């Protein structure tokens, strides 16, 4: 029993070292990346994680058009900011 526990301790120390080594390498990789490619104002059209944006556009357009048509105002007098579909 004792032998196996000491083996487990050995394995643990070793494994934690490996984990820290791997993640420290990863940290430096990330730091290098971030330094090499600094943040710039993002392309405004790219909304990466939005699902089915066309549908959204259509919905916004439809609601806008309805409101505009109904109230006799021009659609560009008001704006629907967002209908988040998820």
Residues in contact with its own copies by the rule CB under 8 A: 52, 54-55, 58-59, 62-63, 65-67, 69-71, 78, 80-86
Show the tokens assigned to 41: 């104002």
The C-alpha atoms of residue 59 and residue 71 are separated, in whole angstroms, by 18
Q: How far apart are CA 29 and CA 45, in angstroms?
A: 29
Q: 3-state DSSP call for residue 51?
A: coil
Residues 1-30 that bind another protein (CB under 8 A): 1, 4-5, 7-16, 18-20, 22-27, 29-30
Binding site for another protein (CB under 8 A): 1, 4-5, 7-16, 18-20, 22-27, 29-31, 33-34, 37-40, 42-43, 46, 48-53
């Amino acid at each position: 029993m004792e032998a196996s526990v000491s083996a487990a301790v050995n394995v643990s120390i070793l494994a934690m070292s490996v984990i820290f080594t791997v993640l420290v390498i990863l940290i430096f990789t990330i730091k290098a990346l971030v330094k090499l490619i600094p943040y710039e104002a993002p392309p405004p059209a790219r909304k990466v994680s939005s699902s089915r944006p066309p549908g959204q556009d259509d919905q916004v357009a439809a609601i806008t058009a309805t409101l505009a048509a109904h109230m006799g105002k021009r659609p560009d007098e008001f704006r629907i900011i967002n209908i988040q579909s998820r």
